[in-house]
Structure 1
């Protein structure tokens, strides 16, 4: 029986936005993530010798439990349960092979079993699963192809194939079947391997030439690279190299070279320059930059802006979407920010100046990072800690300095910021009113307002202004169980919500009657 799946709440069972299972030959870490929550749910399975042979210690919610079964058997049952019962679209499924490991043969057996378990669970579904990003360690490319062919190809946007061992290589012929059933949507492909060699580059060339109509980009991640590859990549004509980072090369596969040639010819005619004197930086051509930037996340876009003045002007002209998933701001003794992006690992920023300096910089960074965000973010999360709460409670000017600056950044956009969930850890209505009214009401589904951690006294909140906003009226989920609402529940305008979790200061008989009539309530005293 699945352990992790059976011990998480119903929402996480049927509607997780992402699941991750990272394993080696002795243990596994699992995680479910849902955009409604700021935190994920994690568990760990570790192999131990039990009285009946191989057993597994499972750690979940800080508690340990001994399961009389081999650890990967426990994990496979959970993977199958999550995949088989998933009801909604997902951002990602990640199965990851860890390093270091003790026994390669054992890990190879585990990888085979995980691939087979994923394939079996996908086959058992009545409808194809909608997943944007699939990551899978394999011994053979055909294992990834089998899994991908069981997914909804019109929804899938990125496949990551991990070749975890040093002796693993791939050929274009291995990869081409991955693209054969691709429909109207172009697919991105990431390959993780041990070494990038000239032969790898040649296989990438063959693959791109055969699949350029179905392929969006191909990313090669590596631990080592032959020095001669850098020159070969610079001279490559079969694609454009979007980005070269330490351990990662991105090959763009859009049809752009004819367009670039036409632009170059126009510039030559206009400037009356010969072929020998013209010099054009393709990163300063808006058409090319638009193609490049569409595959980049927030950190790469900001890095491009720092290369030169011309490139910065070009980036600002094309206004690329940074594809930010979540934006977290923590206001404590030190101020911190984290940005989660669809295309990158989380970005962290720590601010160590004075409060006034940090407030200015946080607003500038927020404006710069989100100014051209067009896609809908999963969450905007702002948490105030006890230390700064005491300071802000005494000084309204300091309080306004932080939140009003964020409001100005939101107001300066050409269109409201699209966010599915707003989480604010504070009990001041005035601070909420600096943020909530400036989000796109058509996209905001969930509002979460919670008390500041570490405050012992009871915290209450007034809602008389918040409940008048369009965002409140159109939201579907409200969570406010750690704060006590002063406003009468009948005045709170909450019948539009589908899910409500709140605490009330008082409840009159009329309030109770009102709650009984509202289908959204499951209430208790």
Structure 2
């Protein structure tokens, strides 16, 4: 069973990139490095009498087993679950080496039972015998292995090395480096034997791509230079594949530029590394798939790398041009954009480079969407050049990284950073999480605008008692909600009393409301939620509004209803609506609510809130206002609404008279806003005069109450659908060459289901024969009682 392996997070287990092992006579030190250069703390397995002490970060465990057996159990879990390429695997022997034999025997046994060979790019053995190292190599992926290093050995038996290399499969091809203290005459003979007899130069045979010999160039050009077909093909390609396809010819390049395909980049990491001076610099562009490009200006032209682009002129222009090309048409939201400025000296400035990156992002038609933005810079001005160019609605996490590589800093000192200007940007205000573990923020707490963040992990220079009081205005009962509850709020109900507020929240598929109570107790507020209690030295309205702010600012899904009841003298309701209006105004997007109900709320208070709601979602507004009612205020509120509102309006009052009906007649002029109108009243004064005053556009009826409605219900206006794009330059011959060609037709049929395929077969004989040849999957998953249920390609069906 695994031990320390269980202490790793799921993300750490899935992103292991490097493994380093150090074996001692009485312990093993095990270190892992994850993607994005994140080095995990060492895991130590040390003999402690008859037992083993395991340490990792704050964890400790004493196990009554041999330290090598425990280590091999954890290593087995790491290697058996390793699915991605390992960049580096190093094993070092630090003492007499008595543990090495058992360690390698265990590693060989683990690698042997893997379903597929472990993929490692570089393997490094330090003070390890050749026979032990070569025995492990045969279980590694032959295509992935590119470098084998054996260093710090006393002597090497090159005959054993030759035998080990002969036992390898023929498709191994790697660089071999050996560091040995002494070489004698026999060793030279063995080296010559390696050079002449070992078949190391045979390249692995790649599987040949099938070639369709019956497709002429003209047909291929008709297919690949057609924007409709190219749009389907490009959906299956990523950034670099699209760039390669653009280089085929001018027609394809112009076709791709017309379509403007999404590069579908998931993660983008940019490292600008200053090595000694500006003449030697590296930039790594890393993607989720592991692809990277390195731009460098080397003095030595003999050094080469398969993924390195050399440029003796201006490396910045080359890499920035590629940066713009890769992100120019990125439409989907990137999971993370990380820009890190690395320097071995403190005096290097990247402000000019930041300006160029900012201009590239601002030249995009739409702001770049990214969920997380990480930047390693020591200057606020450098960050300000880039941050405003990012889409404010998609950005959720901002991380301020250390601009200097740690192993180049003797003391790893913290760097100061001001954020007074950054904190005023919309991107900062809309983010939910702020991380600054290595940069010390010197801006005062109260000037940082951090109260809206749901999560904070930052270093600050000082923290005063005033700052503590300021931070206490952070949410109270909101923190008691689980993450799942926070993200699934579907209904809100607020009961306002003179000395307390009852805040009720319902979730998706919930059966009952959960209540949070804010009650005045002298100069304090007593907050209760389920079994939790809290006493706060603030006014109960201020405490409630802080929690309401966190709920509404983080509300992403549509609210089914929002109800407000005033059950006091109205003073608390006025202050509550004033705060509510400020919260809705501060949101970056209008709050989406289907139904809004106001009870004993003034008309002006309710209508002032409606203008901050999403007009496309609001479908019903119910008013049971505080008496007396002014219908003129309803009309003024409707006049102040923006465009796009369309909802049912229901108003319930106690008494209505002939003076009120003069204003009611004007509701007919808001037929574009009011889909259905119903005004209910318990009493009607001067019935005959009221009927004479009321316009013929309304009906006045008597049931249990009097009610007024539109005589002819106004139908809901349907929105016009976006017209399909028509390309007028396509002749029938070109269209036939696309739909009667097996290659493009196969791509098209993957997007269609059963009945769509049947309709397409009826177009003509050649298309029908083409479809019958391909035999496409109709995507049917249920046939029951003569009912056929098909799978929509956008939402694939996964059977239980």
Once the two structures are TM-superposed, the CA of residue 468 in structure 1 deviates from its matched residue by 1.0
Q: Distance in 2 between matches of 1:71 and 1:474?
A: 46
| CA offset digits 1:169-188 (Å, max 9, x no partner) | xxxxxxxxxxxxxxxxxxxx
* 2:332 matches 1:375: yes
Aligned equivalent of 2:67: 67
Report if the CA contact (8 A) 1:378-1:419 is conserved. yes
Q: Distance in 1 between matches of 2:340 and 2:288?
A: 22
Aligned equivalent of 2:755: none
**Shift in alpha-carbon separation, 1:6–1:234, aligned structure 2, 3 A:** closer
Aligned equivalent of 1:322: 263
**Shift in alpha-carbon separation, 1:403–1:285, aligned structure 2, 3 A:** same
Once the two structures are TM-superposed, the CA of residue 416 in structure 1 deviates from its matched residue by 1.4
Listed as ranges, the matches of 1:24-103 within 5 Å are: 33=34, 39=38, 41=40, 67-69=67-69, 73-77=73-77, 94=84
Aligned equivalent of 1:224: 205
SS of equivalent to 2:69: coil
Once the two structures are TM-superposed, the CA of residue 165 in structure 1 deviates from its matched residue by 9.3
Once the two structures are TM-superposed, the CA of residue 382 in structure 1 deviates from its matched residue by 2.2
Q: Distance in 2 between matches of 1:389 and 1:355?
A: 26
Aligned equivalent of 2:14: 18
Once the two structures are TM-superposed, the CA of residue 445 in structure 1 deviates from its matched residue by 2.2
Bigger radius of gyration? 2
Listed as ranges, the matches of 1:172-191 within 5 Å are: none
Listed as ranges, the matches of 1:120-519 within 5 Å are: 223-225=204-206, 229=208, 233-235=210-212, 280=221, 282-324=223-265, 325-333=267-275, 334-343=280-289, 345-351=291-297, 357-386=314-343, 390-392=347-349, 399-453=350-404, 459-518=415-474
Once the two structures are TM-superposed, the CA of residue 279 in structure 1 deviates from its matched residue by 6.6
Q: Distance in 2 between matches of 1:301 and 1:472?
A: 34
Give the TM-score taking structure 1 as reference length: 0.53
**Shift in alpha-carbon separation, 1:428–1:236, aligned structure 2, 3 A:** same
Report if the CA contact (8 A) 1:3-1:74 is conserved. yes
| CA offset digits 1:232-253 (Å, max 9, x no partner) | x11378xxxxxxxxxxxxxxxx
Q: Distance in 1 between matches of 2:142 and 2:313?
A: 51
Q: Distance in 2 between matches of 1:368 and 1:165?
A: 35
SS of equivalent to 2:294: strand
Once the two structures are TM-superposed, the CA of residue 410 in structure 1 deviates from its matched residue by 0.5
**Shift in alpha-carbon separation, 1:15–1:354, aligned structure 2, 3 A:** closer
Once the two structures are TM-superposed, the CA of residue 437 in structure 1 deviates from its matched residue by 1.2
Once the two structures are TM-superposed, the CA of residue 76 in structure 1 deviates from its matched residue by 4.7
SS of equivalent to 1:407: helix
Aligned equivalent of 1:2: 2
Once the two structures are TM-superposed, the CA of residue 469 in structure 1 deviates from its matched residue by 1.1
**Shift in alpha-carbon separation, 1:517–1:17, aligned structure 2, 3 A:** farther
| CA offset digits 1:424-464 (Å, max 9, x no partner) | 22221111111111112222222122343257776322211
Q: Distance in 1 between matches of 2:88 and 2:312?
A: 41
Q: Distance in 2 between matches of 1:430 and 1:276?
A: 54
Once the two structures are TM-superposed, the CA of residue 409 in structure 1 deviates from its matched residue by 0.8
Once the two structures are TM-superposed, the CA of residue 385 in structure 1 deviates from its matched residue by 3.3
Q: Distance in 1 between matches of 2:108 and 2:293?
A: 33
**Shift in alpha-carbon separation, 1:71–1:94, aligned structure 2, 3 A:** farther
Q: Distance in 2 between matches of 1:39 and 1:407?
A: 27
Q: Distance in 1 between matches of 2:447 and 2:263?
A: 40
Once the two structures are TM-superposed, the CA of residue 346 in structure 1 deviates from its matched residue by 2.9
| CA offset digits 1:246-305 (Å, max 9, x no partner) | xxxxxxxxxxxxxxx9xxxxxxxxxxxxx9977736433334433333333322222222
Q: Distance in 2 between matches of 1:461 and 1:276?
A: 60
SS of equivalent to 1:514: helix
Report if the CA contact (8 A) 2:414-2:438 is conserved. no
**Shift in alpha-carbon separation, 1:78–1:492, aligned structure 2, 3 A:** same
Q: Distance in 1 between matches of 2:247 and 2:297?
A: 20
Q: Distance in 1 between matches of 2:380 and 2:322?
A: 25
Q: Distance in 2 between matches of 1:512 and 1:98?
A: 47
| CA offset digits 1:316-356 (Å, max 9, x no partner) | 22223223222213241333322333445333333569999
Report if the CA contact (8 A) 2:4-2:43 is conserved. no
SS of equivalent to 1:224: coil
| CA offset digits 1:178-223 (Å, max 9, x no partner) | xxxxxxxxxxxxxxx999xxxxxxxxxxxxxxxxxxxxxxxxxx94
**Shift in alpha-carbon separation, 1:4–1:348, aligned structure 2, 3 A:** farther
Report if the CA contact (8 A) 1:323-1:341 is conserved. no
Unaligned runs of 5+ in 1: 84-91, 116-135, 139-161, 167-192, 196-221, 238-260, 262-274, 393-398
Once the two structures are TM-superposed, the CA of residue 411 in structure 1 deviates from its matched residue by 0.6
Q: Distance in 2 between matches of 1:59 and 1:299?
A: 43
**Shift in alpha-carbon separation, 1:428–1:95, aligned structure 2, 3 A:** closer
Report if the CA contact (8 A) 2:417-2:442 is conserved. yes
Once the two structures are TM-superposed, the CA of residue 67 in structure 1 deviates from its matched residue by 2.9
Once the two structures are TM-superposed, the CA of residue 467 in structure 1 deviates from its matched residue by 0.7
Q: Which has the higher contact order (CA 8 A, sep 6+)?
A: 1
| CA offset digits 1:41-68 (Å, max 9, x no partner) | 487999xxxx99xx9999989xxx9833
Number of corresponding residues: 357
Q: Distance in 1 between matches of 2:313 and 2:435?
A: 31
Q: Distance in 2 between matches of 1:357 and 1:276?
A: 39
CA RMSD of aligned residues (A): 5.3
Q: Distance in 2 between matches of 1:21 and 1:432?
A: 29
Report if the CA contact (8 A) 1:359-1:401 is conserved. no
Report if the CA contact (8 A) 2:2-2:73 is conserved. no
Aligned equivalent of 2:484: none
